[in-house]
Chains A and B, each alone.
Chain A
Amino acid sequence: MKNTSENSASAEPVIQVANIHKSFGVVQALRGISFSLHAGDFLTIFGPNGAGKTTLIKILAGLTRATGGTARVAGFDVSNGDPRLRREIGVIAHATYLYADLSALENLVFYAKMYGLDHPGERAAEAIKEVGLEGRMHDRIGTFSRGMQQRISIARAVIHDPSILFLDEPFTGLDPHGAKVLKQYLHSLHTKKRTLIMTTHDLSCGLEMGDKVAVQVKGRFALFEKKDNLDKGGFEELYFETINNGN
């Protein structure tokens, strides 16, 4: 693994991953991933299908346990299932985590109550307004397009104002307008010093948004770099070269 990134020595990392392994029976999904991120970092993870990107996100979010290694997020060991960790993180995945028969407002009020937020109705309406769907807040989620559902899913993920956000291929199925709205929103979160980890197949978009870049191949980081150290014009070539070497 090539790792020339410099960590700022000023603060404790908010995400520390050390030699994480994950196996599903005989299949090794993760084979020793290590990295650390500080508050306000935006890491984009690229990689082919089956590289273990979703598994890594699920471990960091506490949705599944690693079979080896350690991971600490916001100061908590992810394997302990500490509810305080779940207050610090938000997750946007392929699945929207939204109930199709409930309205957008009812969905977010439900999640606001589960997070124990004060004034759940007001907070939910505010979150829907932030993603620009206040005109549809009383409509059933099942009647929304994929892009609109994804925007409500973003509102769900940030309703409790998490300091760390995990995004697993968030642009999948979005039209250009939806993708633009999501990009702007993620940019605003980044400027608010939220820590973000995003997996994507979109090389130009991922490179544009992140300030650190990783390429994951066969359960390992084959590349982990600060974006500033990369030649943006030649990144596509570097990506395919990295994948070929990793295979």
Chain B
Amino acid sequence: MYLYLNQIKAIVWKDLVTELKTRELFSSMFIFALLVIIIFIFSVDLSIVKANEVGPGVLWVAFLFAGTMGLNRSFMLEKENGCLEGLILTPADRTAIYFGKLISNLIFLMVMEIFILPLFMVFFNVDLIPFLGPLLVVIFIGTLGFCAIGTLLSSLSSNLKTREIMLPILLYPLIVPVMIAVVRMTGQILDGKSLGTMMNWVGLTLAFDIIFIGVSVLTIDHILEE
């Protein structure tokens, strides 16, 4: 177990060191998410539509698109110079490779999302400070579900020539229930409701998180095999 955790830690450490040196993943995701928000700001008249109603959808579309970009890049790094084969040749359990990549992706996306929130506040003229605690909980459980299934599918699509197209095609239909739940929860939080009043949505999101992680653990061995 100690070795298993150390192997996960080593993969996360390797990804973080690579990102700190290149800043490729963070900067591309951040700029993409920012552009999505700016485009929406110009297409929505906030004097007619309430920011609390349209904002959550815009925020999660930005996270979803930028996150997909990050997931695509994540396994591409492992394909360069055949590194994924090198990783598979080590005695690490395949699930350790999955959890290492999942945690790395989760960290990168969460950091990008935290940097996007203040800009969202400015552009939509919404004060998120009073709701920051529950909002961060919702962002965490939503991003966990997205990364859990996204990491599995990016490992699958990284072997395909059309990987940039295949990942969203495979990912978006599966992530719809989680996206609906987190958009609804974010909207209710901005309306001043507490997290306790939306436990059905929290439960649904957590259930999908667990299902996505469970399916990934059961299938990653076969996906990484060939």
A residues contacting B by CB (< 8 A) are: 61-65, 81, 83-84, 86-87, 89, 91, 93-102, 106, 110-111, 113-116, 140, 156
Contacts and interface: CB of A to CB of B under 8 A. Distances in A.
A65 B89 CA distance: 14
B92 A97 contact: no
Given A63-B85, A113-B10, A114-B10, A86 B17 contact: no
Interface of B: 3, 6-7, 9-11, 13-14, 17-18, 21-22, 77, 80-83, 85-93, 221, 225-226
A95 B85 contact: yes
**Those 6 A-B pairs whose CB atoms lie nearest each other, nearest first:** A97-B86, A95-B82, A113-B10, A83-B91, A114-B90, A86-B91
A95 B81 contact: yes
Given A99-B14, A99-B77, A110-B10, A89 B82 contact: no
20 contacts: A81-B225, A83-B91, A95-B85, A97-B82, A97-B83, A97-B85, A98-B83, A98-B86, A99-B18, A99-B80, A101-B21, A101-B22, A102-B17, A102-B18, A106-B17, A110-B10, A111-B90, A113-B13, A114-B91, A114-B92
Contacts of B87: 97, 114
A140 B87 CA distance: 19
A169 to B, nearest CB: 13
Contacts of A95: 81-82, 85-86
Given A91-B89, A116-B7, A116-B91, A100 B14 contact: no
A19 B142 CA distance: 51
A102 B225 CA distance: 25
Given A91-B89, A99-B14, A99-B77, A113 B226 contact: no
A123 B39 CA distance: 52
Contact of A83 (B13, B18, B22, B93): B93
Contacts of A102: 14, 17-18, 21
Contact of B91 (A84, A99, A106, A140): A84
Contacts of B9: 113
Contacts of A101: 18, 21-22
Given A64-B225, A110-B10, A113-B10, 17 more contacts: A65-B225, A81-B225, A86-B91, A91-B85, A95-B82, A97-B81, A97-B82, A97-B86, A99-B80, A99-B81, A100-B81, A101-B18, A102-B21, A113-B9, A116-B6, A140-B21, A156-B86
